[in-house]
Structure 1
Amino acid sequence: MNWFRKLLPKEDRFFTLFEQHARTATEAAKTLEALLAGGEEVPQRCREIATIEHKADDITREVILAIRASFITPFDRGDIKDLISRMDDAVDQMHQTAKAITLFKTREFEPEMREMGAAIVACARLLEEVMPLLSALSRNAAPISDLCLRISTLEGQADDVYDRGMKALFKDGMPDAMNYIVRSQIYDHLEEVIDHFEDIADQIQGIVVEHV
């Protein structure tokens, strides 16, 4: 049946939707990075991330509907669903980060938090580079794997920044337990965002292995 499936026309708009979602993730990441610069613009940046998250949800919904409506998909339906879900998780977690910052009314952020914000932007941009390559998995297997590896490398580097920031926070926050709790939660949210990008990279690598 594999040879027969290859002869049938495929629904290629999934690739366009993946690219749209990746651009939305980059938009959210850049807004999060601007938010972490601090200042009076923080509440506005949080609202902007909420708006972007709604856009990402709309694209995700469109992908799910397309899976149901398409006779032949570019690769397995389960892989498509898992990939767009993981992509959406990353944007959702950026929104959760913004919600926590809004809740705690935080206006200043540690240098390590800003470093993690920059890493999130870098991951999102790499994901944007990956998406157009998915339409030709066999031809693009090597560059796809390289870009996914770079995302994983960034995740490892961000883990080191997280550890450094938490260590400094623990040392400086001993007199103020509430400050420690609030800021450690923001660190945790940022780490989860980057973890989601690594999950996306792993999902893409799995698709490459399965279909090449």
Structure 2
Amino acid sequence: MLGWFRRLLPREDRFFELFERHSRTVVGGAEALEQLLQGRDIDRWCQTIVDLEDKADGITAEVLLAVRRSFITPFDRGDIKDLIQSMDDAIDTMHKAVKTVKLFEMTEFDPLMREMGSVIVEAARLVAEAIPLLGKVGANAARLNAIAEEVMRVEGRADDLHEQGLKDLFKRHGRSDPMAYLIGSEIYGQLEKVVDRFEDVANEISGIAIENV
């Protein structure tokens, strides 16, 4: 009877399947954002991000439901919740960037914005590399911590690009076209927030590695 009942409950490895599915949507969103910033097929890439964000929300809901239903979880329930929500925040922030692009009908993007798009893809791929390693967190702790540090370095590079981008914007538009400056600074700000959310994910991963070694 107990065995039958346990088969109805979420498997422990189900969490890792869901984490990996979510990480793939995040990478897809990051790659779509990078393409959007090239200034071609903007509507197509905006819709791709919207669709992926919706898919990610569904996966997040599955994870949270599994946490509530599971007797046994691979690590602390609070850590599972915080990890999936930090991952979801990353693609939610990409969606916010899309809304900003559509609101201001942006069709051209600065070279440093495009470079920030590449940085976002790098951060997303690092997170996607880390997620499967959580299945054997003790054995993979060193690599998990190394990935977290790499994400921190990527975030630092994004900060530099953000700062330089604002300086360049002000030189071009600060006095002659304040609206162009404000719109450009809003885009830069949204892109920087995306990378900040990946830093949050890296912190969650690092915390899980530390607590489970």
**After superposition, where does 1:74-153 map in structure 2 within 5 Å?**
74-153=74-153
Offset, 1:189: 0.3
State the distance in 2 between where 1:60 and 1:70 align: 15
Which residue is 1:31 aligned to?
A: 32
Q: CA deviation at 1:66?
A: 0.3
Matched, 1:185 2:204: no
Who is 1:159 aligned against?
159
Q: How does 1:13-24 map to 2 (within 5 A)?
A: 13-24=14-25
1:208 Cα offset (Å):
1.0
How far 1:209 sits from its partner (Å)? Answer: 1.0
> 1:205 offset after TM fit, Å?
0.6
Pairwise CA RMSD:
1.1
Match of 1:50 in 2: 50
Q: SS at 2:108's partner residue?
A: coil
For 1:115 and 1:210, how far apart are their aligned partners in 2?
Answer: 35
User: Structure 2: how far apart are the matches of 1:44 and 1:139?
Assistant: 41
Q: Judge which range, 58-67 or 44-53, deviates more.
A: 44-53
SS in 1 for 2:12: coil
Residues of 1 paired with 2:11 and 2:96: CA distance? 36
Q: Distance in 1 between matches of 2:102 and 2:49?
A: 11
TM-score, reference length from structure 2: 0.93
- Indicate the residue corresponding to 1:208 in structure 2: 209
Aligned residues between the structures: 203
Moved over 3 A (4+): none
Distance of 2:184 and 2:51 partners within structure 1: 24
Contact 1:11 1:74 in 2 (8 A): yes
Aligned pair 1:171/2:171, yes or no?
A: yes
SS class of match (1:74): coil
TM-fit CA distance, 1:10: 6.3
Partner Cα separation in structure 2 for residue 11 and residue 71 of structure 1: 9
Q: Deviation digits for residues 26-54 of structure 1, max 9, x if unmatched?
A: 00000000000003x11221111101100
> What is the Cα deviation at residue 98 of structure 1?
0.5
2:204 & 2:198 partners in 1: Cα distance? 10
1:151 Cα offset (Å): 0.8
User: 2-side partners of 1:16 and 1:145: how far apart?
Assistant: 21
CA 1:51 to 1:10, structure 2 compared with 1: closer, same or farther past 3 Å? closer
- For 1:69, the aligned partner's letter is R
Distance 2:11 2:103 in 1: 46
Q: CA–CA distance in 1 between the matches of 2:48 and 2:105?
A: 16
Amino acid paired to 1:107: T
- Partner secondary structure for residue 139 of structure 1: coil
Percent identity over the alignment is: 52
Query: Post-superposition shift, 1:210?
Result: 1.1
Paired residues of 1:10 and 1:74 also in contact (CA < 8 A): no
After alignment, is 84-93 or 12-21 more displaced? Answer: 12-21
Counterpart CA distance in 2 for 1:126 and 1:11 is: 24
Superposed displacement of residue 195, structure 1: 0.2
Q: Which runs of 5+ in 1 are unaligned?
A: 1-8
1:198 maps onto 2:204 in alignment: no
1:133-186: CA deviation from partner (whole Å, max 9, x where unpaired): 001111000011111111110000111111110000011112101111111001
